[in-house]
A and B are shown apart, each in its own frame.
Chain A
């Protein structure tokens, strides 16, 4: 698998898009630090960007890479390599190169600004960790979509829909149900609903770490009580890991049952 990973990674590192993505984060990091002149504020702004953009790029890149490398995959399938490893290798190749663009692209400006001397180092690390998780999660989901759809237009369509649902529609439904059922106790519901969407979960994690939960009223207090503890933190990370492992397992299953 490492060899497939190596070649996929190498292939992506030579494509223009990885650099565009990297330069985008580099510029974003510098601009935010320059304008805010405050690491914590920059982290909050970055969070808002990352939480929407990372899943979008992960999904689009995953689908695009899968369809574009179909020929390469065909070539590999006739070689003495285990089938599931080909796809897991390609998946990790995409996800890791995207994560690297994110981490290095944001890392450089923040290191130059002096993040190591600032007390926002943990907030910033958490931001990068959740960003990496979101990349891994959404690339895995997009590989599943691409593996199930031979037709690229359909594949792209479903991928965009998935992102739209997770990033926008889910929150809408969530808020609507909170309003409709406001007479009922909704503590467990809102906690569970947050857990089921990796984007929401990452957002809550970062917001709570930044200690601005007071802005969120009662829900904030509730979330603070839950996620603020070590147990809540570990549970959230655990759920993020599940969000990576389960789709990756599905990639393996789908790849093993598909005709090429």
Chain B
């Protein structure tokens, strides 16, 4: 269980998060949605400890994450933009991350197979295409068996087959009983995978609940329109 208590974040004068309170239950897939600049990435990075909150606290398994780092052993994170050191090969990168994580039980072989990354293993990361980099990114995220998975825009740059594979992957991880947090702008994808929606608007939680609750609340027949109606209301 991840508990977020009164989270505020300011970058200079720009207030991104203005008091987010949220409890993320275990074994659920939670989608964090919101328009551009609503604070999704800041929110996720706060959980990872990459962004330090101006106010508020994040409690993970009963402990505050302030000044802690060991808790990151329990998190697999997929960053939004897949940027890697350019002069390493894919294989070296995989081995390096394994070495840094000190987990011997990494399941990289099956994932290499799944995403057909075999021919790229000895290529330098700087020479890979955006989509292939994203596949490597996904591989690095899913090769460990951690109870929490955080995915920031996992679908960007993926071809349709890889997208289907990713969905399958998320599905199997869910069945293993993992907590998964996702941000995405692809509404179909969110609708397919998410159990719960958290909608961020101007740094606050505007809505939290299931997709059917959201449809009810907005009186819209489908999910995409429900989200659109929140956005038009807020921009009006």
Contacts and interface: CB of A to CB of B under 8 A. Distances in A.
B128 interface: no
Contacts of B52: 257-259
B85 to A, nearest CB: 4
A72 B84 contact: yes
Interface stretch (B24-32, B70-78, B106-114, B163-171): B70-78
Given A71-B85, A72-B84, A78-B79, A259 B11 contact: yes
Interface centre among B52, B71, B75, by most chain A C-beta atoms within 10 angstroms, is B52
Given A74-B79, A259-B11, A259-B52, A79 B100 contact: yes
Contacts, number: 59
B91 interface: no
B96 A81 contact: no
A141 B101 CA distance: 30
B69 A82 contact: yes
Contact of A11 (B49, B83, B87): B87
A75 B101 CA distance: 12
A217 interface: no
A214 B21 CA distance: 73
A77 B51 CA distance: 10
A48 interface: no
B50 A78 contact: yes
Interface in A51-95: 69-72, 74-83
B200 to A, nearest CB: 18
B51 A259 contact: yes
Given A71-B85, A79-B72, A80-B71, 17 more contacts: A3-B100, A14-B87, A69-B85, A70-B83, A72-B84, A72-B85, A74-B50, A75-B84, A75-B85, A77-B50, A78-B50, A79-B101, A80-B73, A81-B72, A257-B52, A258-B52, A259-B45
The 6 closest A-B pairs by CB, nearest first: A71-B83, A80-B72, A80-B73, A72-B85, A78-B77, A259-B51
